[in-house]
Amino acid sequence: MDLHLDSHLGDGYKSNSQKMRVITEAWAGDNVFCPYCGSSVSHFENNRPVADFYCHECAEEYELKSLGRVIGDKINDGAYETLIKRIKSSNNPNFLFLHYDKDSLKVKDLIVVPKYFFSPSIVEKRNPLSQEARRAGYVGCLILLGQIPSDGRIEVIRDGIPYPKRDVIEKLYRTKFVRDFDVESRGWVLDIMNCINRLEKKRFTLSEIYGFESFLADKHPTNNNIRAKIRQQLQVLRDKGFIAFEQRGIYKKLM
């Protein structure tokens, strides 16, 4: 995988963001593989509103977001309603987050987030633009990448070093069970996965997960029995092979 970006492709573009979009899209078209099947991806001919790339083999669709800075916990995106609609649609795209180094024009990091890790709860609505703004009333959004479980943020390149293709495909394969949930029930599953990951250990107890009760209550204000929901979701994650029950109140993370 060649990590150099071809700066000449940006010649003729006035705005820097447009220029970098063209340059990074060309790089992705030449270098990115589909993490579901390993085939190459192609750029959509026309500027489709839903996605930038698709896989020849399995038809998965990808949207590329390129950043000239380290990929943080919050990523600026376009219109709030547009992204929510897409997350809820049947052909919502997978996301690629690319960080390039502005000086050396080399790709530093690339993360793929499978489409089923997106739920409306990881999209933050921004305040509408003021009446004085050119696009008055426009409501943008932030993708809360930091709230996606680490299992769903699959590294393809880290600090200028690509991971072997088979490792990326295998990592994605292990998360496929999340796909079985519809977009409404997915929010809970992902929240509990997040809580488990935040403990940063293989073995954990039920009371440790109860420690996230107030955090979960804030995210799900209409639920009046958070502890019962936690227990139910742990059973769901056990059935999917994400965790195992070792003994009463003690769990083990399998992935």
Both tokens assigned to 193: 């996965």
Please state, as a whole number, how many other Cβ atoms lie within 10 Å of the Cβ of residue 170: 12
Helix axes 183-199, 226-239, angle to 10 degrees: 90
DSSP category for residue 92: P
DSSP code, position 40: B
Burial of 149 (0-12, 13-18, 19+ CB in 10 A): buried
- Count of residues interacting with Zn ion (CB under 5 A): 7
In the complex, the smallest distance separating the C-beta of residue 1 from Zn ion, rounded to whole angstroms, is 17
CB of 116 to Zn ion, least distance (A): 15
Which residue's CB is nearer to Zn ion, number 8 or number 166? 166
CB nearer to Zn ion: give 22 or 37: 37
Residue 52 CA to residue 61 CA, distance in Å, equals 7
**Residue 148: strand pairing partners:** none
Smallest distance from Zn ion to CB 213, Å: 40
Q: Residue 63 contacts by C-beta under 8 Å, 6 or more apart in sequence?
A: 50, 51, 52, 53, 93, 94, 95, 96
Which residue number, 57 or 170, has a Cβ lying nearer to Zn ion?
57
Residue with Cβ nearer Zn ion (39 or 104): 39
User: Distance between CA 36 and CA 57 in Å, rounded?
Assistant: 10
Toward Zn ion, which CB reaches closer, 39 or 76?
39
Residue 34: CB minimum distance to Zn ion, A: 3
Q: Write down the least CB distance from residue 190 to Zn ion, Å.
A: 23
Binding track, positions 25-64, relative to Zn ion; x by CB under 5 A:
---------x-xx-x---------------x-xx------
- CB of 167: closest distance to Zn ion in angstroms? 16
User: At 220, is the secondary structure helix, strand, or coil?
Assistant: coil
Cβ nearer to Zn ion, comparing 60 with 77: 60
- Closer to Zn ion at the Cβ: 37 or 123? 37
What residues from 80 to 119 belong to the interface with Zn ion (CB under 5 A)? none
Tokens 């394969």 label which residue? 173
- Whole-angstrom CA distances from 177 to 40, 189, 233, 234, 246 are 24, 11, 14, 14, 21
Shortest reach from residue 108's CB to Zn ion, in Å: 25
Q: Which residues bind Zn ion (CB under 5 A)?
A: 34, 36-37, 39, 55, 57-58
